[in-house]
Chain A
Amino acid sequence: MTAIVTPPAAVSGADRQTWWFAMSGAVLVGVMIAGLMIGPAGPTWWRVPLELLDRLPFVSVASGISDADWNIVWQIRAPRVVLAAVVGSTLSISGASYQGVFRNPLVDPYLLGVAAGAGLGATLVFALTSSRATVWFIDPLPVAAFVGALAAVFVTYSVGSLFGRDRSPIALVLAGVAVTALATAIQTFILQRNNDVIRQVYSWILGRLSSATWGDVRLVLPYAAASIVVMLLHRRLLDVMRVGDDEALALGVNVRRVRLTIVLAATLGSAAVVAVSGLIGFVGIIVPHVVRLLAGASYRRVLPLSVLLGGAFLVAADIPGRVLSDPAETPIGVVTAFIGAPFFLLLLRMRQNDR
């Protein structure tokens, strides 16, 4: 069984790393193509890869897909697949980075209040727009969620660094807990007053990719890409920080600045994806751990592999939701936990048997 998840014994060092990157990249591409092929309507599944090949330069293949069918693939499935990949990648690498800077394996990207802030912002929009038929120039929901998420983390950070005079990040984590509790309380209060929107808010909280458009992708991609790049640049420094703040400082790392930069990048990325996809739990905490179990704990591998496999995981988790429970779709957050939790437990078990 382990042969599936471990490179050949003869392969080692840098080759091993290349092997993991290549495998994970292949998995991501494969899952994304599968995501384009599967859906309730549209062309026969095996024609899709042919059409994709046909669209490559210098390649000509007759796929026999009609323009209408291709529209289903390109305008409905493709944005959903790409958005799932972007959201999964961003949440996974943000989770891995948070776990690194706080040196705590239980941390997820929602630690400092991103989720609660976004939830509060979204709830406000649902509550305010439910009674009136207002015409908005842009959809206020992602904007409010994004602003709410950033505001919550801003409060956490200012309070946390006010009271945490030493370099310990514990004050920051506690401030995050407090801000989350406060935002959740306000959200609950608003919901009590507006019973009619509870169902909408609830379904938003569990996450959704079903209504994804290329517009959503364009909205989130710049933030996600920038935050992923910044985090990837810090992957070696995260390894140095594994020996603790004091030793990292003695080794010449400006610990405070690195932590602030990474937290800002992870927050920006996760706030952006939360704004378009709702709160998809589980990905940000489990994918990095799966990567650690498979390829080792060095952040130089964990971060890039989290991007590739996190994207692949969410695209894959989105597929059964489309075919099984059509038309009333299962929220993606439920699917990720439903597939992810048993898989993770199995992997944990297998690795323990190895030792």
Chain B
Amino acid sequence: MSILGFCDLTVKYADVPAVVQFNDVVRAGEWLCLIGPNGAGKSTVLRAAAGLVGYEGSVAIDQLEIPATSARWRARHIAFVPQAPIIPPDMSVYDYVLLGRNPYIKQFARETAYDCAVVERVTNQLDLTSFARRMLGTLSGGELQRVIISRALAQEAPVLLLDEPTSALDIGHQQQALELVDRARREHGLTVVSAMHDLTLAGMYADRLVLMHQGVRVAAGSAKEVLKPATLAEFYGVSARVHHESDGTVVVIPQRVLPGSN
């Protein structure tokens, strides 16, 4: 269980700010979802936390600032699933999941029996045992997403970052992938930060939403608090209805703008 803290996180791409003074504290075991229109800086926050882009300010785990230089230290504490992971088609599922153990394997050593045990446990949990020898190129999109998530879980990092984890999946596999993440979060006490476009799904799975716009954190809170028609219209430029179901689910439905209704 770890707390992930952002303090005045600022990221610039060639002097153009992508994220400006982002502050947040993600509680241990919490699922935080970053939402916002394209280019709002959601992915950049995740990439900064994963150490893939340089930044000003700090990212801390359990109030311990992450050293900028140690990729290994960071990888033991933060697992990152990019939006479109590179999939070598001729790598086996087992070998791919084993990559998640890299931060624990000495640079020139080979994996230990413990590393193999972790890989077997994770693949077993995600019903991938029968896939272990299959090549990644032979898997379907849904199977692949499970394999990618298992690689992240094999990292045994307390913090899991997911960039658009469901963007390439059909509705069934979206649900399956998010349920999988939620189960792992409960079982291992993971702190999860994800960037998502589907606001309804975001509201359903996340404990808290943070809305970003042009690099700035503009709203935060529960789905009920953030997903309001006026807020969505202001930052997404969308005309949408928001339904509140009896079980607390907030459903966002885009509305057609009929000609002449304006």
Contacts and interface: CB of A to CB of B under 8 A. Distances in A.
Given A243-B86, A247-B80, 5 more contacts: A243-B87, A249-B51, A252-B76, A253-B71, A292-B90
Given A251-B75, A252-B72, A252-B76, A298 B91 contact: yes
A65 to B, nearest CB: 44
Interface of A, helix, strand, loop or mixed by DSSP: helix
Interface in A5-25: 12
B85 interface: yes
Contacts of A234: 108
30 contacts: A233-B108, A236-B105, A236-B108, A239-B95, A239-B99, A240-B102, A242-B88, A243-B85, A243-B88, A243-B96, A243-B99, A246-B82, A249-B71, A250-B51, A250-B52, A250-B71, A250-B78, A250-B79, A250-B80, A251-B99, A251-B103, A252-B72, A252-B73, A252-B75, A252-B102, A252-B103, A254-B71, A296-B90, A297-B88, A297-B90
A140 interface: no
A236 B96 CA distance: 12
Interface string A180-213: 0000000000000000000000000000000000
Nearest to A296: B90
B180 to A, nearest CB: 20
Instruction: Give the 5 A-B CB pairs with smallest separation, nearest first.
Output: A252-B75, A252-B103, A252-B72, A244-B86, A297-B90
Contacts of A247: 80, 82, 85-86
A237 interface: yes
Given A233-B108, A243-B86, A249 B52 contact: yes
Nearest to B76: A252
A67 to B, nearest CB: 46
Contacts of B91: 239, 242, 297-298
Nearest to B109: A236
Interface string B39-73: 00000000100111000000000000000000111
Contacts of A233: 108
Given A243-B85, A243-B88, A296-B90, A252 B110 contact: no
Nearest to B100: A251
How many B residues are at the interface, by size bracket?
Answer: 20 to 34
B155 interface: yes
B99 A240 contact: yes
A233 B155 CA distance: 23
A247 B102 CA distance: 11
B130 interface: no
Contacts, number: 67
Nearest to A300: B110
Interface residues of A, number: 22
B161 to A, nearest CB: 9
A208 B88 CA distance: 38
Interface of A: 12, 233-234, 236-237, 239-240, 242-244, 246-247, 249-254, 292, 296-298
Contacts of A237: 107
A237 B108 CA distance: 8
Contact of B75 (A12, A244, A250, A298): A250
A252 to B, nearest CB: 3
Nearest to B95: A298
A249 B74 CA distance: 10
Contacts of B74: 250, 252
Contacts of A252: 71-76, 102-103
Interface string B121-141: 000000000000100000000
Contacts of A236: 105, 108, 110
B152 to A, nearest CB: 9
A247 B87 CA distance: 11
Nearest to A233: B108
A236 B115 CA distance: 14
A258 to B, nearest CB: 9
Contacts of B107: 237
Contacts of B79: 250
A233 B90 CA distance: 22
A242 B108 CA distance: 17
Given A236-B110, A237-B107, A298-B95, A253 B86 contact: no
A301 B102 CA distance: 18
A246 B47 CA distance: 9
B250 to A, nearest CB: 32
A253 B103 CA distance: 8
Query: Which of A237, A239, A246, A252 has its CB near the most chain B CB atoms (within 10 A)?
Result: A252
B73 to A, nearest CB: 8
Query: Which of B72, B79, B102 has its CB near the most chain A CB atoms (within 10 A)?
Result: B102
Contacts of B96: 243
